[in-house]
């Protein structure tokens, strides 16, 4: 367990007794709900990366804003990489949407004033589902205010989101450095990225024979700790800004 995880264990709602929950929410009636997916991210990263990064950022944001954080949901919408190894996603929008709604409705029943759905998984279908949910929730004028946010769409972040590439590798390395194993990838000098026309998102990256199979975006072997730290700090600042807006 990382130092920040130990420091923020008191914000994890699943670890708390009812009176502890009520005391924390009396100070700020807000609950973060981290969302992710189980997907192949290359040989160097865990399949639960999206939920792990969402959970870590939610906990650190919660430290600044108040409230509590739900356990991360490791299931997300499937997409174009659904056939990749150890990718286990939800096929039907209504399945995942109902789970979100059941959670939000129960939080509303408990009198929670605000909920933040924060997704570390930002495939197209996931993002469309989040937008649909936000619009429908707003139209129903519930007493619980909802904000649907994505790690890929936060203000003040210079590096674009990716899949298992430099962005996701950098964020996870800051939160869970023991889960990032760049040495599992081929040596960059001997096996450089072979992207036609410099396109790191092309179909060639979906070929199991490609040196960066299943990794979409800038080469994660270009990882730099200082750049990763700045990126993660910018992401955290963006979450807090949008929550408090």
- Give me the mean pLDDT over the 50-70 stretch: 98
Give the burial string for 168-187 (b: 16+ CB within 10 Å, else e).
bbbbbbbbbeeebebeebee
What is the torsion angle, in degrees rounded to the nearest 10, for the CA atoms of residue 163, residue 168, residue 173 and residue 174? -170
Write down the pLDDT at residue 83.
87
pLDDT value for 82: 75
Whole-angstrom Cα distance, residue 158 to residue 138? 30
CB atoms within 10 A of CB 28: 14
Q: Does the pLDDT at position 5 exceed 80?
A: yes
The pLDDT, as a whole number, for residue 125 is 95
- H/E stretch holding 149 reads strand 145-150
* C-beta neighbour count of 12 within 10 angstroms: 17
Angle of the 49-65 helix axis to the 225-244 helix axis, nearest 10? 60
CATH number at residue 176: 3.40.50.10310
pTM comes to 0.96
Q: Of the candidates 225, 214, 199, 220, which has an alpha carbon nearest to the alpha carbon of residue 42?
A: 214
Confidence of residue 81 (pLDDT cuts 50, 70, 90): confident
Residue 98 pLDDT: 96
pLDDT confidence of 2, banded at 50, 70, 90?
Answer: confident
* Average pLDDT along the chain: 96
- Could you read off the pLDDT of 145-186 as tens digits, one per residue? 999 999 999 999 999 999 999 999 999 999 999 999 999 999
Q: How many domains does the chain have?
A: 1
Domain extent, residue 105, equals 3-244
Mean pLDDT of 231-235: 98
- HEC-encoded secondary structure of 1-40: CCHHHHHCHHHEHHHCCHHHHHHHHHHCCEEEEEECCECC
Backbone angles phi, psi at 228, to 5 degrees: -65, -40
- Give the model confidence (pLDDT) of 92-145 as tens digits: 999 999 999 999 999 999 999 999 999 999 999 999 999 999 999 999 988 999
């Amino acid at each position: 367990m990382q130092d920040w995880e130990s420091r923020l264990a008191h914000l994890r709602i699943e670890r708390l007794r009812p009176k502890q929950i009520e005391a924390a929410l009396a100070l700020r009636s807000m609950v973060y709900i981290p969302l992710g997916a189980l997907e192949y991210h290359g040989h160097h990263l865990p399949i639960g990366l999206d939920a792990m990064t969402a959970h870590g950022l939610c906990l650190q944001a919660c430290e600044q804003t108040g409230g509590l954080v739900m356990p991360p949901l490791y299931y997300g919408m499937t997409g174009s990489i659904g056939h990749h190894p150890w990718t286990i996603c939800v096929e039907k929008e209504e399945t995942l949407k109902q789970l979100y709604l059941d959670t939000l409705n129960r939080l509303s029943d408990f009198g929670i004033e605000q909920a933040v759905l924060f997704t570390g998984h930002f495939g197209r279908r996931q993002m469309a589902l989040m937008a649909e949910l936000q619009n429908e929730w707003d139209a129903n004028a519930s007493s619980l205010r909802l904000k649907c946010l994505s790690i890929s769409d936060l203000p003040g972040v210079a590096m674009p989101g990716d899949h298992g590439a430099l962005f996701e590798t950098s964020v996870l390395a800051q939160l869970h450095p023991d889960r990032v194993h760049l040495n599992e990838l081929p040596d960059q000098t001997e096996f450089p990225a072979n992207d036609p026309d410099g396109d790191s998102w092309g179909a060639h990256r979906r070929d199991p024979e490609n040196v960066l199979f299943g990794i979409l975006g800038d080469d994660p072997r270009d990882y730099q700790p200082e750049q990763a730290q700045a990126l993660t700090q910018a992401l955290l600042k963006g979450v807090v800004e949008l929550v408090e807006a």
